[in-house]
Amino acid sequence: MSNYELGYAGDITPETAHEWIQSGAAVMVDVRSDAEREWVGFVPGALAVAWKQWPGMAMNPSFDSDVCAAANGKKIVLLCRSGVRSIAAAQRATQLGIEAYNILEGFEGDANADGHRGTQGGWRMRGLPWRQN
């Protein structure tokens, strides 16, 4: 599928996202809810712009203005739990004129056979920088 068909600039690995952030080529936008970042962990330096908010997972009414401010003219790499919400957020950011990439696997990766995340891919499992409160 071409990037045109995706509706955003493309998918990148967590490692590539980290390289881009470290070099200053991109800004990370974490689109998970405030609760997820607080309870599960976060990437230091990532800008928090929730796509949907808990409870109820209602759309964030300030997403458009917040993501434009976060990008500040740079390309953005979007992170969610598993790489699904960040696709929708990347599509919307692209509609707003931002060069937006989805980070494959998200922060926690896919659930394993026992329904647990964090063992099959994801930013955290790949040993990239993260913290927990």
Q: Tokens in use for 54?
A: 């808990």
Map out the domains of the chain as residue ranges: 3-103
Question: 78 near 86, Cβ under 8 Å?
Answer: yes
Q: Answer yes or no: is pLDDT of 2 > 60.
A: no
Q: Structure tokens of 39? A: 């309870």
Q: Which DSSP symbol is given to 117?
A: -
* Average pLDDT over all residues of the chain: 91
What's the CA gap between 126 and 128, in Å, rounded? 6
Between 120 and 19, the higher pLDDT residue: 19
Angle, vertex CA 29, rays to CA 41 and CA 104, nearest 5: 75
Contact 52, 32 (CB under 8 A): no
Give percent above pLDDT 90 in the chain: 70
Backbone angles phi, psi at 93, to 5 degrees: -60, -40
Q: What is the pLDDT of residues 31-52, one digit of tens each?
A: 999 988 999 999 999 999 999 8
Q: Give the position of tokens 């964030």.
A: 60
Q: What phi-psi label fits residue 98: left (phi over 0), alpha (psi between -120 and 50 degrees) or beta?
A: beta
For residue 14, cis peptide bond before it (omega within 30 degrees of 0): no
- Asked if pLDDT for residue 117 goes beyond 90, the answer is no
Q: What is the pTM of this model?
A: 0.90
Domain 3-103 has CATH 3.40.50.720: no
The predicted pLDDT at position 53 comes to 83
